[in-house]
């Protein structure tokens, strides 16, 4: 195994998002951007494989120029190279168009193993990884908890489903998607941070660089089979009753009364 | 010309999964709006008899691909089989459960067919004008809802969260003939080998089926905090569940997690104890019939969605509540 590509996405930290209570709209200002947690787990898997085999780890993302920060963070964690695919041609992409563009970018790079996070916290679709694998015509294993090397071109992968685990044997090249809850990513090192900003470059790819590998009709908003018809905040439920300053016994009486009223007891 | 509403029926070890019945229930509503039929598709090995039962759950037609290659789920054989069914039959709509398997196969098929896919839908409707499928899902960590359409490609495909749609009552009078659809598998389709399968030993509790859930969050203090909740749940004939914080801390198994990255539940009663009620948790339980929240922090967002909230110490309230309910039960 010589080359590992890791696909990441820079996402708003959705756990920090608040709703404006009066308008019901999202307050986007001040929400920090982070590397999607499942993707960071994917990078950790790649770096562990690098530690064992000396493989080169290249991180790829599609996004606006600001995604440079996320890529520098991956370099500081130990990635060797970083690639940013950016351009207005890609704006408004759904998962299908995103995977078309990313797959085209990956075709310009050598790879034995591709790692993506299971899903991104801003969309939670889990679709882009498998769609990239299909566009590249390589097998996929999603929901990956751990990866071991069997021999030079064979991996043993543990996959978690709801009710079972599979140990799978896969020949390279392959794409896997990783589970953030199973894999603890390493921290950036001080030397790594220094190198990430002083020594290493983020390579920028544009549409011109990938155009031989993708039909422009499959990119961006116009290349997206799905469209957002509308988005809305959920209707606010009428407020219930909240009791403060009640004793435990009073609280029990109140709860029991309610359960009787609703025929639960 | 594409037509009919297709449902991918998931099976594990030859047993059809509940989410498939739920999707058939929803597909019947969509089919009525479109005046089309509901078609169930089952992939597996030795599954013809199980497939025949799908007529009783609302399928007008049942298609089975029955092959030893499909015994245990693997992406490529399954994607190939479903792709061939889609190409041959041209569905108008194709629905999947948003399970691990559904979320693995659906994007693969969408890329191969070149059509759109909407993940984790909680609501499906037919647009009365265009007759297109309106697919509504939570987005941005559950903070907003988005309705997605797929106007120019077919089939319109969606994965749907288990526990959200309602299955129909089983109708034993309905029968039909299962259509066997043959797929020409090649050895190389098995491009990943299963070395071993480890099934989770204890039978996983399906909290989505519980009528009553007593749920604990960070505020219960530790793994031992579930003990009093378990006693309360037992008195109510319910189950215990959890917020993500407790699962990540290792206090309880992941299969009991409610919320955006856990399960969606709508029990008759949801008692939230020591749960702050962040949006990621709320999206998994806010459609519960009755929500009772106990939390010592009066500004916890859980009180915004609770029908009944008590600001107080759960360690004092829960044992007393359990005793009171026990007495009522004994008196009956």
CATH of the domain at B20: 3.40.50.620
User: B255: Cβ–Cβ under 8 A, 6 or more apart, which residues?
Assistant: A162, B204, B205, B206, B207, B263
In a domain, A232, yes or no: no
Query: In this complex, do B116 and A94 lie within 8 Å of one another by their Cβ atoms?
Result: yes
In a domain, B197, yes or no: no
One digit per residue, the tens of pLDDT, for chain A of length 265 reads 999 999 999 999 877 777 666 666 667 778 899 999 999 999 999 999 999 999 999 999 999 999 999 999 999 999 999 999 999 999 999 999 999 999 999 999 999 999 999 999 888 899 999 999 999 999 999 999 999 999 999 999 999 998 899 999 999 999 999 999 889 999 999 999 999 999 999 999 999 999 999 999 999 999 999 999 998 877 666 778 999 999 999 999 999 999 998 888 8
Q: What's the pLDDT at B266?
A: 86
Name the residue range of residue A203's domain: 3-218
Q: What's the pLDDT at B269?
A: 96
In a domain, A224, yes or no: no
B119 touching A (Cβ < 8 Å) = yes
Q: What's the pLDDT at A97?
A: 97
Q: Which residues of B296-324 are buried (b: 16+ CB within 10 A; e: fewer)?
A: eeeebbbbbbbbbbbbbebbebbebbbeb
In a domain, B195, yes or no: no
B118 touching A (Cβ < 8 Å) = yes
In a domain, B28, yes or no: yes
In a domain, A96, yes or no: yes
Query: In this complex, do A224 and B116 lie within 8 Å of one another by their Cβ atoms?
Result: yes
- Whether residues B10 and B159 share a domain: the answer is yes
In a domain, A229, yes or no: no
In a domain, A223, yes or no: no
Q: How far is the C-alpha of B41 from the C-alpha of B106, rounded, in Å?
A: 13
- Whether residues B162 and B263 share a domain: the answer is no
Q: What's the pLDDT at B275?
A: 96
In a domain, A246, yes or no: no
Q: Which CATH number characterizes residue A188's domain?
A: 3.40.50.620
B308 touching A (Cβ < 8 Å) = yes
Name the residue range of residue B301's domain: 207-331
B121 touching A (Cβ < 8 Å) = no
Of B163, B155, B164, B171, nearest in space to B5 by CA: B155
- Whether residues B164 and B244 share a domain: the answer is no
Q: How far apart are the first and last CA of chain A?
A: 62
In a domain, B181, yes or no: yes
Of the residues B132, B159, B189, the one at which a domain ends: B189
Q: How far is the C-alpha of B245 from the C-alpha of B224, rounded, in Å?
A: 15
Q: Which CATH number characterizes residue B217's domain?
A: 3.40.50.1220
In a domain, B200, yes or no: no
Q: How far is the C-alpha of A255 from the C-alpha of B312, rounded, in Å?
A: 13
Q: How far apart are the first and last CA of chain B?
A: 62
- Whether residues B10 and B122 share a domain: the answer is yes
- Whether residues B140 and B12 share a domain: the answer is yes
One digit per residue, the tens of pLDDT, for chain B of length 332 reads 899 999 999 999 999 999 999 999 999 999 999 999 999 999 999 999 999 999 999 999 999 999 999 999 999 999 999 999 999 999 999 999 999 999 999 999 999 999 999 999 999 999 999 999 999 998 877 778 899 999 999 999 999 988 889 899 999 999 999 999 999 999 999 999 999 999 876 666 789 888 999 999 999 999 999 999 999 999 999 999 999 999 989 999 988 999 988 898 989 999 999 999 998 899 899 888 899 999 999 999 999 999 999 999 999 999 999 999 999 988 87
- Whether residues B17 and B132 share a domain: the answer is yes
Residues B159, B118 contacting (CB under 8 angstroms):
yes
Of the residues B189, B222, B255, the one at which a domain ends: B189
Task: Tell me the ipTM for this assembly.
Answer: 0.90
- Whether residues B117 and B235 share a domain: the answer is no
| CA distances in angstroms from B244 to B221, B223, B259, listed in the order given | 14, 13, 7
Nearest to B110 among A131, A174, A231 (CB): A131
- Whether residues B182 and B36 share a domain: the answer is yes
Q: Which of B82, B107, B206 to mutate to test the interface with A (most CBs of A within 10 A)?
A: B107
Q: Count CA atoms closer than 13 A to B44's CA, side-chain side.
A: 20
For residue A77, give the DSSP letter.
H
Q: Count CA atoms closer than 13 A to B219's CA, side-chain side.
A: 23
Classify the phi-psi angles of B120: left when phi > 0, otherwise alpha if psi is within -120 to 50, otherwise beta.
left
Q: How many CB pairs under 8 A join A and B?
A: 252
Helix, strand or coil for residue A114?
strand
The DSSP string of A9-73 is -EEE-GGG-EE-TTT--EE-TTPPEEE-HHHHHHHHHHHHHHHHH--EEEEEEES-GGGHHHHHH
In a domain, A142, yes or no: yes
- Whether residues B224 and B136 share a domain: the answer is no
Q: How far is the C-alpha of B135 from the C-alpha of B122, rounded, in Å?
A: 8
Residues A265, B325 contacting (CB under 8 angstroms):
yes
- How many structural domains comprise chain A? 1
Q: How far is the C-alpha of A190 from the C-alpha of A195, rounded, in Å?
A: 9
Of the residues B136, B160, B189, the one at which a domain ends: B189
In a domain, A38, yes or no: yes
- How many structural domains comprise chain B? 2
Q: How far is the C-alpha of A110 from the C-alpha of B12, rounded, in Å?
A: 37
My answer on whether omega of the bond before B299 falls inside 30° of 0, hence cis, is no
Nearest to B153 among A15, A123, A225 (CB): A225
From chain A, the residues in CB contact with B296 under 8 A are none
- Whether residues B178 and B45 share a domain: the answer is yes
- Whether residues B168 and B226 share a domain: the answer is no
Strand B269-273 to B192-199 pairing:
unpaired
B201 touching A (Cβ < 8 Å) = no
């Amino acid at each position: 195994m010589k080359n590992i590509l890791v696909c990441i996405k820079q996402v708003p930290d959705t756990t920090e998002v608040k709703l404006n209570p009066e308008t019901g709209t999202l307050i986007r200002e001040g929400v920090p951007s982070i590397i999607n947690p499942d993707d960071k787990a994917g990078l950790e898997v790649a770096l562990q494989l690098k530690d064992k085999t000396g493989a080169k780890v290249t991180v790829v993302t599609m996004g606006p120029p600001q995604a440079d920060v996320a890529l520098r963070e991956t370099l500081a964690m130990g990635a060797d190279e970083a690639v940013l695919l950016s351009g207005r041609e890609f704006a408004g992409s759904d998962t299908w168009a995103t995977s078309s563009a990313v797959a085209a970018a990956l075709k310009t790079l050598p790879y034995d193993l591709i790692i993506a996070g299971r899903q991104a916290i801003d969309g939670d679709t889990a679709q882009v990884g498998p769609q990239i694998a299909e566009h590249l015509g390589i097998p996929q294993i999603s929901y990956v908890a751990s990866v071991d090397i069997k021999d030079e071109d064979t991996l043993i992968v543990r996959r978690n489903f709801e009710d079972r685990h599979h140990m799978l044997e896969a020949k390279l090249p392959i794409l896997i998607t990783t589970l953030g809850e199973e894999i603890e990513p390493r921290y950036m090192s001080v030397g790594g941070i220094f190198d990430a900003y002083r020594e290493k470059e983020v390579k920028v790819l544009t549409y011109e660089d990938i155009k031989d590998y993708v039909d422009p009709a499959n990119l961006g908003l116009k290349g997206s089979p799905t469209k957002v018809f509308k988005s809305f905040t959920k209707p606010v439920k009428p407020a219930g009753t909240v009791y403060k300053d009640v004793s435990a016994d009073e609280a029990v009486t109140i709860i029991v009364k309610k359960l009787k009223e609703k025929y639960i007891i | 010309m594409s037509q009919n509403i297709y449902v991918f029926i998931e099976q594990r070890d030859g047993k059809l999964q509940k989410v498939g019945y739920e999707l058939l229930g929803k597909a019947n509503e969509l089919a009525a709006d479109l005046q089309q039929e509901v078609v169930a598709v089952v992939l597996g090995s030795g599954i013809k008899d199980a497939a025949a039962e799908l007529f009783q759950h609302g399928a007008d037609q049942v298609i089975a691909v029955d092959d030893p290659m499909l015994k245990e789920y693997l992406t490529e054989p399954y994607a190939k089989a479903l792709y061939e069914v889609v190409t041959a039959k041209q569905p108008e709509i194709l629905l999947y459960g948003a399970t691990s398997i559904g979320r693995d196969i659906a994007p693969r098929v969408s890329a191969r067919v070149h059509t759109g896919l909407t993940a984790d839908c909680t609501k499906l409707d037919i647009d009365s004008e265009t007759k297109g499928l309106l697919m509504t899902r939570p987005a941005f960590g559950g903070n907003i809802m988005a309705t997605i359409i797929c106007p120019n490609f077919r089939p319109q495909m969606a994965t749907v969260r288990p526990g959200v749609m309602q299955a129909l009552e089983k109708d034993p009078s309905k029968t039909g003939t299962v259509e066997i659809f043959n797929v020409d598998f090649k050895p190389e389709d098995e491009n990943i080998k299963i070395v071993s399968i480890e099934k989770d030993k204890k039978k996983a509790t399906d909290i989505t089926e519980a009528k009553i859930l007593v749920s604990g969050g960070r505020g219960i203090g530790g793994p031992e905090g579930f003990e009093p909740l378990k006693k309360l749940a037992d008195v109510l004939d319910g189950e215990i569940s959890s917020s993500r914080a407790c699962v990540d801390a290792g206090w309880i198994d992941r299969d009991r997690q409610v919320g955006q990255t856990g399960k969606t539940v709508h029990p008759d009663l949801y008692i939230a104890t020591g749960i702050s009620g962040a949006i990621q948790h709320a999206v998994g339980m806010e459609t519960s019939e009755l929500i009772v929240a106990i939390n010592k922090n009066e500004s916890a967002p859980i009180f915004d969605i609770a029908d009944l909230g008590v600001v107080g110490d759960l360690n004092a309230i829960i044992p007393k509540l359990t005793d009171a309910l026990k007495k009522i039960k004994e008196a009956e």
